[in-house]
Amino acid sequence: MDTERMDELAAEALATGRIPADATADEREEIERLLAGARQLRATRGAVHDEARASMPVARARFERFVAANPPGHAHAHPAPVPVKRDGLLARLFGGHALARTAAVAAGIAALAVGGVFLSQSFSGVETANALALEEGDYAQASGVVASTSGEGAARRLELKSEFGAVVVSVGSLSAESVDPASLKAGDSVVVEGTVGAGRVIAATAVVRTAVAVDLPRVVKFKELRELRDGLAGKVVTFTISKDGTHGVVLVDGGDGNRYAVKMDAGSAAELLEKLGTALGARVEIVHQEGAPRGVFVVRPVSAATPVGGGVLGPVTGVVVSREANVLLVRTDRGPVTVVIRTDTRILLGTNGLTLRGFLAGETVAGHKIAVTGRIEKATGNLIADVVTVGPKPVQMAPVPPEGDEAAPAEAILEAVA
């Protein structure tokens, strides 16, 4: 069979759907097989296009976020490195006084989400905003009302309604300290903490019930904050940290009928998380940061959130005693805690000389103060980290022990910290 002739015959048949009249029996047989294959591909074309259309709002929102973070003239059109602040945010957080393990969770209202943050005029629809709120990999603290429940055990799920829209929350793997997933029912007002996973389902590590039998919230729109006006402040109703830990987003209720989505630097995210335990319900002010990219702000707490939930969502804080691969031994005032860092754990670093690359490569963090938000694994008691904030080494502390030599030096560290 002549290859060139066969290519031409097949091309004609595929273009017209008809087998050329001059094709031989053998050629017809092969062409029929080729046409069948093309038909199979084309038969799924509509379904694939439907998939593409369905995924577009999420992808569009993601791209908008990317473009907003990398405006023309920006030196490097890729995610900015973790900013280093002159004042040393983590020094403020950790220095001078013991960290209150507040675990304040807020009576927050509202919305799951975020995202509006980067919404441009043409991307400000609720659908897009909802999609932004659930960008895969984001760590999120949010609240809403349970509209329905399904599944049992590890498959237990909630459909949560918030001002931001509806989301699905997987509650099959909650922290040991969290509410019993089986007890959650429609009408419960809850605060959730977790990571946005595949299909934009929030895999919750903690859920706290804050009220019962409340009305389902009405979906509202959020405005992206691009230009700062003086005295802008409000209450945080949603808090997220990006997958790469370079920035966060808060949704702020201005109290004057306006709601803003505010992109904040990594330092602000760390401060809110560590100082307040949870940012939800906290009153914050928004200020400009010198040299920050347009649309990125510093968000400072003005007052703590209203504590609810018994501290379930608050971080565990302490001093790193040792590290072996991805497992940290952390000494806390509750006793030693084993912290497991996973590939999706967000690492926030301050002015401590550490780099993310160094940290991930195994650089020791023994002696550093640390705050960990995550889920306590029932079987092992280990804390599976969602977010880790690494502070500076305590000033003038005892010498850091060599890795693997934990006992006595750990005590020395703790004494120095105290």
Partner 1 sequence: MSDAGVGNEGAESGRDDAEQLARRAVRRDRDAWGEIFEAHYQSVYTFVRYRLQGAAEAEDVAAQVFEVAYRGADRFDYRGVPIEGWLIGIARNLARDHIKKLGRRGYQEEIDDLNAPAEPDAAPSVDLRNDLEAAMHHLTEDQQTVLSLRFLLDRSVAETAVLMDRSEDAVKNLQRRALAAMQRALAGSGYGEG
User: What residues line the site for partner 1 (CB under 8 A)?
Assistant: 3-4, 6-8, 10-11, 14-15, 30, 32-34, 36-38, 40-45, 47-49, 51-53, 55-56, 58-60, 62-63, 66-67, 70-72, 77-78, 120, 122, 136, 157, 168, 170, 173, 197-199, 201, 203, 342-344
Taking the complex as a whole, how short is the minimal distance between the CB of residue 103 and partner 1, in angstroms?
A: 26
Enter the DSSP assignment of 395: T
Question: What minimum distance in Å lies between the beta carbon of 204 and partner 1?
Answer: 12
Shorter beta-carbon distance to partner 1: residue 21 or 43 = 43
Instruction: State the CB neighbour count (10 A cutoff) for residue 207.
Output: 27
Name the residue nearer to partner 1 (CB basis): 33 or 334: 33
Least Å distance, CB 195 to partner 1, is 10
Q: Closer to partner 1 by CB, 25 or 47: give it.
A: 47
DSSP helix/strand/coil, 376: strand
Looking at beta carbons only, is 150 or 258 nearer to partner 1? 150
**Is there a contact between 188 and 145 (Cβ–Cβ < 8 Å)?**
yes
- Give the DSSP letter of residue 112: -
In whole angstroms, how close is the CB of 77 to partner 1 at the nearest point? Answer: 4
CB of 11 to partner 1, least distance (A): 4
CB atoms within 10 A of CB 169: 24
The Cα–Cα gap between 212 and 214 comes to 6
| Choice between 4 and 290, CB closer to partner 1 | 4
Residue environment code for 27-38, b if the CB has 16+ CB neighbours within 10 A, otherwise e = beebbeebbeee
The nearer residue to partner 1, 77 or 395, going by C-beta atoms, is 77
Strands 335-340 and 247-253: unpaired
Bridge partners of 161?
145, 166
DSSP conformation class of 263:
E
The two three-digit tokens of residue 334, written as one number: 């509750």
- Would you give the end-to-end CA distance of the chain in angstroms? 87
State the nearest-atom distance from the C-beta of 317 to partner 1, in Å: 26
Q: In the numeric block, which tokens belong to residue 149?
A: 């429940």
**Would you state the structure tokens that stand for residue 70, as one six-digit string?**
């990398």
Query: How many alpha carbons lie under 13 Å from residue 317 in its C-beta half-sphere?
Result: 24
Residue 177 Cα to chain centre, angstroms: 21
Q: Identify the CA nearest to 141 among candidates 222, 214, 286, 241.
A: 241
Distance of closest approach, residue 16 Cβ to partner 1, in angstroms: 12
Nearer to partner 1, 205 or 210 (CB): 205
Among residues 135 and 265, whose Cβ is nearest to partner 1? 135
Nearest to 8 by CA among 17, 18, 20: 20
**Nearest approach, Cβ of residue 18 and partner 1 (Å):** 16
